[in-house]
């Protein structure tokens, strides 16, 4: 009986640890006040990080959104000093050059990512490719433009033509490659190894396993990387100045100079004419909306893997 009473008395005694640290949130405690201050500081820095994005969007919307009209997409730019016109040739040229770059970069980039993750033995050659891909991702875009200019434009490599949409597409493809290769490699790493073992267990070859099992399983991250690479390429200017140049007319083929929105913005924004400056703002708004839409599509594709 005595032992039982002693135990019960011990169990009924309040715990000193919980007396000092109550379970309910106490805003008067020093650590909670410090936590609230530091959280507020982190929130301020987070808001400052995204503030330029909203300022750019609002300013471009104010300057270029008011100029939107059907004629903006159906007419050619006017001669310097004249009013009216549109950016129809630049919109088509941007889509065409980006499409050429995608046709070149996506197969090579996805193939490079498949090699790094599925076929390489992580030897010196695969390490060299990974290192080179990381270096290429940091190369300034203007260097890429100068490189393609020296290889393709100055040598008139394609049908004795110099500046062309194909040359511009090649320059943008070089910029897209690192993103596509990296996202493909990382996406394939997320595929469970058990899927590959199951495919091998039923007699499938390496190639069939990659094409029928591994790639479909990694489609979402790969597609996200491809869309982000396209969005980056569509907004580049420096490589296109050295390769696609600019044309005030409608596209006349992929082996001729072609207008793009980024180069149109550069050319028209430095002209001393109000009409050209307004078209530059309108093209800026259209280009920002296109890139924003591509990023939203990438986020939507990325969210599919979490559902």
pLDDT tens, position by position, 180-223: 999 999 999 999 999 999 999 998 899 999 999 999 999 988 99
Check residue 2 and give its pLDDT: 46
The reported pTM is 0.82
270-296 pLDDT, tens per residue?
A: 998 888 999 999 999 999 899 888 888
Angle CA 259–265–268, to nearest 5: 95
Q: What is the pLDDT of residue 306?
A: 63
pLDDT (tens digit, 9 = 90+) per residue, 295-307?
888 888 878 766 5
d(CA 212, CA 249): 45
Instruction: Provide mean pLDDT across the span 135-154.
Output: 92
């Amino acid at each position: 009986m005595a032992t039982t009473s002693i135990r019960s008395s011990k169990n009924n005694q309040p715990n000193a640890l919980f007396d000092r640290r109550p379970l309910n949130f106490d805003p008067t405690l020093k650590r909670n006040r410090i936590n609230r201050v530091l959280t507020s500081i982190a929130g301020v820095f987070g808001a400052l990080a995204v503030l330029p994005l909203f300022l750019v969007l609002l300013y471009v919307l104010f300057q270029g959104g008011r100029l939107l009209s059907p004629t903006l997409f159906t007419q050619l730019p006017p001669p310097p000093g004249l009013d009216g016109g549109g950016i129809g040739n630049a919109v088509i040229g941007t889509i065409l050059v980006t499409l050429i770059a995608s046709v070149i970069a996506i197969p090579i980039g996805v193939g490079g990512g498949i090699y790094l993750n599925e076929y390489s033995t992580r030897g010196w050659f695969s390490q060299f490719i990974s290192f080179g891909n990381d270096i290429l991702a940091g190369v300034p875009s203007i260097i890429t433009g100068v490189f393609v200019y020296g290889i393709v434009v100055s040598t008139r490599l394609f049908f004795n033509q110099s500046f062309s949409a194909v040359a511009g597409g090649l320059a943008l493809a070089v910029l897209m490659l690192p993103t596509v290769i990296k996202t493909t490699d990382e996406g394939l790493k997320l595929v469970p190894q058990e899927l590959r073992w199951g495919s091998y267990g039923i007699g499938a070859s390496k190639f069939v396993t990659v094409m029928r099992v591994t790639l479909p399983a990694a489609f979402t991250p790969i597609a996200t990387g491809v869309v982000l690479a396209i969005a980056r390429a569509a907004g580049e200017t420096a490589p296109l100045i050295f390769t696609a140049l600019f044309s005030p007319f409608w596209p006349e083929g992929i082996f001729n100079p072609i207008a793009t929105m980024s180069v149109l913005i550069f050319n028209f924004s430095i002209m001393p004419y109000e009409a050209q400056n307004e078209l530059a703002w309108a093209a800026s708004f259209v280009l920002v909306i296109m890139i924003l839409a591509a990023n939203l599509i990438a986020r939507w594709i990325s969210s599919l893997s979490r559902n």
